[in-house]
RNA sequence: GCAGGGAUUCCCGAGUGGCCAAAGGGGGCGGGCUGUAAACCCGCUGGCUCAGCCUUCGGAGGUUCGAAUCCUCCUCCCUGCACCA
């Protein structure tokens, strides 16, 4: 089962495959390889960028190998002791479990459930005593750990780094020991951690894993796609939103997105059509054909033609007459009334397509009408009966 | 331990007694334009019963007619020095 074409499929889009020739060696073992991917459960949603390593896992699975998803429950539970790091908030066990489950539901869109093993790292990390931890820490040196780009930058920026944070790469590396990983996947930002896994495995007398990294998907703002920044396309988000967000990417990014997300070359022809096709692909993968068609219809109707969507939620008018529109907008769209007032002042609010200029309107004049805030938010007003 | 520097609105960052709901940038939102939710241009961006009022500048007190700005204590962060069996 190890041929050159296998390797090129398995390592498609890969930035690093280390060591040189290591993957071929592993394939020659002639048994299903254990392909590890660590999961950060601090934020449960997977976006299409985080799905890229999962796509590699799927490729390995399709070739007969086993995917091992590691849920970093223990790592997360310990958190950052100062409790202040926004990157590593301490979560309670219930939330970790919930996040892990949410994560897995989404991951199954990409990976093969029959060939996936899910492990919680608390399983082995919780059992280590202090001597075990010291043994682990002896496998590396402070300067090696501080070499990591992330740490270097934070030191340069005068930001705090707690000692426990230095141990994260080691904990992650120990996961590889525990599951006897043959291959570990990750984004290029994980290169250091993945290589640390090799060092530690060797120190524990295991054959070190092969490291395979994939590029980080840049979003429409040319920054790394990230849920906390909000420039992400969630793997299970609403179809219409997935479609619209995909349409936001600049034309120059089409090539990278097609290669990484769809794993195909950009279709020839108009960039607009290539972008639409990419949006269809993304929605179809998550929600199926039907949803992809509906999402496109919605996009055409609302964004390209500036019309109202097909289905508009109803919103009950508050009591009283006349009705205070900022209050209605606040209730319908989750704005503050101050925001709503500004929106009206800027001509961003429409009733049945006509720009609203007054703050109050009669009950009768509002019932049954279509209220629009900006270009994409709509609500059908109904009188409470 | 000693000495210095710092904590400002969603983020970064100016502001050192009244002209401060607080410069500037980012982000977000709205409008215009457009093949696109891109790019570009313009505007807005604490809350409210909105020509007025209320709350905000790490926390708690205090000085003052008046405090983001001054004082005291506290919490946290950074840097240097000292310490380092």
pLDDT digits (tens, 9 = 90+) for A184-219: 999 998 888 899 999 999 999 999 999 999 999 989
Question: What mean pLDDT do residues A271-294 have?
Answer: 94
Cα A43 to Cα A105: distance, rounded to the nearest angstrom: 14
CA of A339 to C1' of B18 (A): 30
CA of A85 to C1' of B57 (A): 22
Question: What mean pLDDT do residues A69-87 have?
Answer: 64
Closest nt to A243 (CA→C1')? B37
Closest nt to A159 (CA→C1')? B78
Closest nt to A337 (CA→C1')? B48
Nucleotides, chain B, CB distance < 7 Å:
27-31, 34-39, 43-50, 76-79
Q: How far is CA A64 from CA A26, A58, A207, A334, in A?
A: 13, 10, 21, 49
Would you identify the CATH topology of the domain A314-382?
3.10.290
Closest nt to A373 (CA→C1')? B30
What is the average pLDDT score of chain A? 88
Of A307, A303, A37, the residue nearest A175 (C-alpha) = A37
Residue-wise pLDDT tens digits, A9-62: 999 999 999 898 899 999 999 899 999 999 877 777 789 999 999 999 999 999
A247 touches strand B (CB under 7 A): yes
A342 pLDDT above the threshold of 60: yes
Q: Which of residues 309 to 338 on A have a Cβ less than 7 angstroms from any strand B atom?
A: 324, 326-327, 330, 336-338
Q: Which of residues 333 to 362 on A have a Cβ less than 7 angstroms from any strand B atom?
A: 336-339, 341-343, 346-348
Q: Which of residues 3 to 32 on A have a Cβ less than 7 angstroms from any strand B atom?
A: none
CA of A354 to C1' of B31 (A): 15
Task: Kindly report the three-state secondary structure assignment for every residue of chain A.
Answer: CCCHHHHHHHCCCCCEEECCCHHHHHHHCCCCCEEEEEECCCCCCCECCCHHHHHHHHHHHHCCCEEEEEECHHHHHHCCCCCCCCCCCCCCHHHHHHHHHHHHHHHCCCCCHHHEEEEECHHHHCCCCHHHHHHHHCCCCHHHHHCCHHHHHHHHCCCCCCHHHHHHHHHHHHHHHHHCCCEEEEEHHHHHHHHHHHHHHHHCCCCCCEEEEECCCECCCCCECCCCCCCCCECCCCHHHHHHHHHCCCHHHHHHHHHHHHCCCCCCCCHHHHHHHHHHHHHHHHHCHHHHHHHHHHHHHHHHCCCCCCCCCEEECCCCCCEEHHHHHHHHHCCCHHHHHHHHHCCCEEECCEECCCCEECHHHHCCCEEEECCCEEEEEECCC
Q: Which of residues 199 to 228 on A have a Cβ less than 7 angstroms from any strand B atom?
A: 220-221
Say if CB A265 and CB A259 are below 8 A apart.
yes
A82 touches strand B (CB under 7 A): yes
Domains of chain A: which residue ranges? 4-214, 239-304, 314-382
Give the position of tokens 């070499």: A147
Closest nt to A295 (CA→C1')? B37
The ipTM value here is 0.84
The correct answer on CATH 3.30.230.10 for the domain covering A4-214 is: no
A80 pLDDT above the threshold of 50: no
Least confident of A57-61, A67-71, A90-94: A90-94
Q: Which of residues 98 to 157 on A have a Cβ less than 7 angstroms from any strand B atom?
A: 155
CA of A222 to C1' of B20 (A): 36
């Amino acid at each position: 089962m190890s041929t050159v074409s296998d390797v090129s499929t398995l390592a498609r889009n890969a930035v690093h495959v280390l060591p040189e020739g290591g993957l071929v060696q592993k394939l020659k073992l002639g048994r299903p390889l254990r392909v590890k991917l660590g999961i950060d459960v601090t934020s449960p949603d997977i976006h299409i960028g985080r799905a890229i390593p999962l796509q590699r896992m799927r490729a390995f699975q399709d070739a007969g190998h086993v995917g091992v998803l590691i849920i970093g429950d223990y790592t997360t539970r310990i958190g950052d002791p100062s409790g202040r790091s926004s990157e590593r908030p301490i979560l309670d066990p219930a939330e970790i479990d919930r996040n892990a489950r949410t994560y897995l539901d989404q991951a199954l869109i990409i990976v093969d459930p029959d060939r996936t093993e899910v492990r919680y790292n608390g399983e082995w990390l919780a059992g280590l005593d202090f001597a075990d931890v010291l043994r682990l820490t002896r496998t590396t040196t402070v300067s090696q750990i501080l070499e990591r780009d992330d740490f270097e930058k934070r030191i340069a920026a005068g930001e705090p780094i707690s000692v426990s944070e230095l141990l994260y790469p080691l904990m992650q590396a120990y996961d590889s020991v525990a599951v006897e990983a043959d291959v570990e996947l990750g984004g290029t930002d994980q290169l250091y951690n993945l290589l640390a896994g090799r060092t530690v495995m060797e120190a524990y007398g295991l054959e070190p894993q092969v490291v395979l990294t994939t590029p980080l998907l840049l979003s429409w703002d040319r920054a790394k796609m990230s849920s906390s920044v909000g420039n992400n396309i969630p793997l299970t988000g609403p179809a219409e939103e997935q479609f619209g967000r995909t349409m936001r990417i600049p034309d120059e990014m089409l090539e990278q997105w097609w290669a990484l997300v769809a794993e195909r070359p950009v279709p020839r022809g108009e960039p607009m059509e290539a972008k639409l096709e990419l949006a269809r692909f993304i929605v179809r993968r998550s929600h199926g054909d039907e949803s992809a068609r509906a999402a496109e219809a919605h996009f055409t109707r609302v964004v390209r033609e500036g019309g109202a969507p097909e289905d508009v939620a109803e919103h009950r008018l508050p009591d009283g007459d006349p009705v205070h529109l900022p209050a209605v907008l606040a209730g319908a769209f989750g704005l503050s009334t101050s925001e709503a007032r500004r929106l009206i002042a800027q001509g961003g609010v429409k009733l049945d397509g006509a720009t609203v200029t007054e703050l109050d309107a009669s009950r009768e004049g509002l019932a049954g009408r279509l209220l629009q805030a900006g270009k994409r938010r709509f609500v059908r007003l109904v009188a409470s009966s």
